Amino acid sequence: MASYPSGSGKPKAKHPFKKRASPQASTAAPGQGPGLSGTAPPPFDPGITVSAEARGGLGAPPLQSARSLPGPAPCLKHFPLDLRTSMDGKCKEIAEVSPGTTRTLTPVSTPCLCSPHPSPHAWLSPDPQPLPGTPGPAALTPSPDSVGEGPRAEGQPLTFLPSPQELFSRSLAESELRSAPYEFPEESPIEQLEERRQRLERQISQDVKLEPDILLRAKQDFLKTDSDSDLQLYKEQGEGQGDRSLRERDVALEREFQRVTISGEEKCGVPFTDLLDAAKSVVRALFIREKYMALSLQSFCPTTRRYLQQLAEKPLETRAYEQGPDTPVSADAPVHPPALEQHPYEHCEPSTMPGDLGLGLRMVRGVVHVYTRRELDEHCSEVELPYPDLQEFVADVNVLMALIINGPIKSFCYRRLQYLSSKFQMHVLLNEMKELAAQKKVPHRDFYNIRKVDTHIHASSCMNQKHLLRFIKRAMKRHLEEIVHVEQGREQTLREVFESMNLTAYDLSVDTLDVHADRNTFHRFDKFNAKYNPIGESVLREIFIKTDNRVSGKYFAHIIKEVMSDLEESKYQNAELRLSIYGRSRDEWDKLARWAVMHRVHSPNVRWLVQVPRLFDVYRTKGQLANFQEMLENIFLPLFEATVHPASHPELHLFLEHVDGFDSVDDESKPENHVFNLESPLPEAWVEEDNPPYAYYLYYTFANMAMLNHLRRQRGFHTFVLRPHCGEAGPIHHLVSAFMLAENISHGLLLRKVSIRNPILPSQLPPEPLCPAQPRGYLTDSPSLLPAQAPVLQYLYYLAQIGIAMSPLSNNSLFLSYHRNPLPEYLSRGLMVSLSTDDPLQFHFTKQATRQVRWRSGRQAGTAGQDGSAEGTWPVQEPLMEEYSIATQVWKLSSCDMCELARNSVLMSGFSHKVKSHWLGPNYTKEGPEGNDIRRTNVPDIRVGYRYETLCQELALITQAVQSEMLETIPEEVAVATSPGPQ
């Protein structure tokens, strides 16, 4: 019998590879096959017993395992960290056998598989049998009858351990039968592990008063040690006990992600003096925007406002736009809002509308003023409604213009933008898989069935070219004899119109229409505008895509309703269509509203925006307007009249409830020969044929809209916002004006940091700068005097979270090639961007299909009545999905990126609070992940939490830098710029 020194109990192996005493096992190192050490093993005789001394006991040197490299054998216990893997248990099982276990080998007349030499016997091993009294562990443990007792009797079985190959095969077979994908640690018996699991389970389910971080660590530890089946059982058992607390903790776990933080005192990489100056200037700019948003009842980012509150000299009052109505839907409300019980244009009776206030209206210096009496005499007084002062507006513009050309501020903003881009890349590397896993856990929801809003699309080009072609052919077959046009006092039928062009329905094709933009429209806005004329004929544009014509816009109404039907069929796509008001006559609003009400052009998937083209110079040249104030009166006086006395404009009153706001459109690249300052002519004095500058249009639109919003808010009516085209081309000061006055903008390409250098003609320079700090001519249309100004504006747009509706396909055909579009850069930095189509008629190719649609009244196929009913077959179009598809392929956007863009589009849109509550969740107005419902948006809380935390960190950086300083101390360059210019 083998004996051990007293007090030792059993030998302690220095590492597992020294326990093996088998000659076969001693010739191979871990991870090597037999014979790799270069030493031939001795022959093995099954009739010879092996003593304890021969396997490394007392009196004999221990056998060393062969190694391919010198040095001590690796032992994981020597490392400071636990580096064990799932394969360690299998390797150890091969290297050693549990004490007290042996196998009985029976000789069989087959070649021996264990010995390197031929043998007449092979030893087959039945199940292991325990041997009582076995003293200690050994790699080879003979039976007590055969150790030190002389030769074995004939026929007596020899007890011996199996070979390493057999043990390895057995361990693999047993591992496949295990349900858990891990091995229990050697130092943790199953009883201790079960006790630990139950303790953690009780801690999580019962003690609801623990700190959140303690609960989080306990839950994470539990998830690491428990199997999937046990976790499922734990969830099922806990459903009846503390379901609410468990759900809250699960939500907390889903919002956990890897964060990138910066430690140290200086976190921005610029000197503290530069940081302080930049922070003060940025805060000043944000206060300017907050002032104008509050003045016009437009929305302002609540997170930004909360940080500005810390620096305000007096508490910022809670604005009416931030109060909002009570949550109209429950947390479990359906994704689809309830259908309307009746059409909104069903009842247009003046007697059912709100009463007359009896107020008087008059435009003074380009702004409508409201008076207490309709008869404007000495007995009436003006109703106090706030609007921006012209002198204050010009001074604020000068402050911002001087700010964006300040060198240290540009450097600071550029560094912060680069940091935001890099931080997002790190976030994607660390959390992309977690975001994808969170999306996969949401049942039913994916990118195709989340709400998307086309936030920038023109009604006159909302159909694609194939759709318009089929509609024209259908009209030619069914309405040839209908009078559709008046030419020089002579009425013409549809047949006569096409005969004058020498065309038939069979001759028409997509190429014949020629409405699609091509390479010839790049930087040629005049050619692009000509594409709105089918076949190059303006008469066809007037017949088919105008609201005011000989047929009262019937064809245009029907094609718009077909587009609406497609949106309703898709369920999850929505649009904000833009209709035009030109300001040439006072009855334009009534005609537009009558067109919508008469043809019942309405859909729950569509909202309206009214665009005002900047074409005063054209109307003035033709003698249609006497001055600019006449244009403003034609645009805004009907709106005030419909607000004061709705029964005087019944159709307009109904129509305005579905209008979101105003847009200002035209070619921004046209030169502006005038600088908007205090010396600019007032609207009643602007009689020249030159077009006013962009800021001039925007200011007077904003001033009248602010007055109108306050009046409508007092009556409980819907208010408007300003969402102009801005930053597509032209000078940089367009973006400055929009930053102050607009809630959202469209395009925003000039927010890129690179400016195009164009020469400035001497005739374009103003005689003197507006303030001593300004370079001469800095407000002209060329950005060459302001190289790389956009980092400051881009950073300001980010901090204020101003919505930007971008249309890459449109820009690709007009001003900027697709691969240079800054949308992916804006998205990575956290700007509030969304995808839109702009003009599907000119830019989009969509796979066509036909769909049979019947309107509610159910008329004959292809016909339409006065009530707008129609039935017919037309193509299905999805230009918005085409926009998303191309952007995803070109820029390799992830599913989370696309869903984030879609969620942004809903937040930017003008749909009602109740509708957004259904689409995004009842808490969508809350900040951060609390306002996100992944079941509706498919945007992981991880992404929303990252955006929110990053914005808070940027706002904290600039606000904390000025906590101890007075806001009045502005950098020298900006302080000089506050002077209002030449008087």
Active-site annotation, residues: 747
Distance in angstroms (rounded) separating the CA atoms of residues 445 and 571: 13
Distance in angstroms (rounded) separating the CA atoms of residues 817 and 810: 10
Strand, helix or coil for residue 214: helix
What residues are paired with 107 via a beta bridge? 123
Tell me, letter by letter, the H, E, C secondary structure of 503-557.
CCCCCCCHHHHCCCCCHHHCCCHHHHHHCCCHHHCHHHHHHHCCCCCCCCCHHHH
Look at residues 619, 736, 622 and name the one whose alpha carbon lies nearest to residue 666: 619
Strand, helix or coil for residue 430: helix
* Angle value at C-alpha 162, between 161 and 167, nearest 5 degrees: 125
DSSP state of 382: B
Distance in angstroms (rounded) separating the CA atoms of residues 410 and 790: 8
Read off φ and ψ for residue 294, nearest 5 degrees.
-65, -35
Distance in angstroms (rounded) separating the CA atoms of residues 141 and 22: 10
Strand, helix or coil for residue 131: coil
Strand, helix or coil for residue 608: strand
**401 in Cβ contact with 734 (< 8 Å):** no
Structure tokens at 983: 């008087």
Amino acid identity of 270? V
Read off φ and ψ for residue 488, nearest 5 degrees.
55, 45
Strand, helix or coil for residue 61: coil
Chain center to CA of 963: 32
Half-sphere exposure of 87 (CA within 13 A, CB side): 2
- Beta strands in 292-390, from DSSP E residues, in sequence order: 360-364, 367-371
**948 in Cβ contact with 356 (< 8 Å):** no
- With a CB cutoff of 8 Å and minimum separation 6, the contacts of 902 are 447, 450, 451, 452, 834, 937
Distance in angstroms (rounded) separating the CA atoms of residues 965 and 736: 26
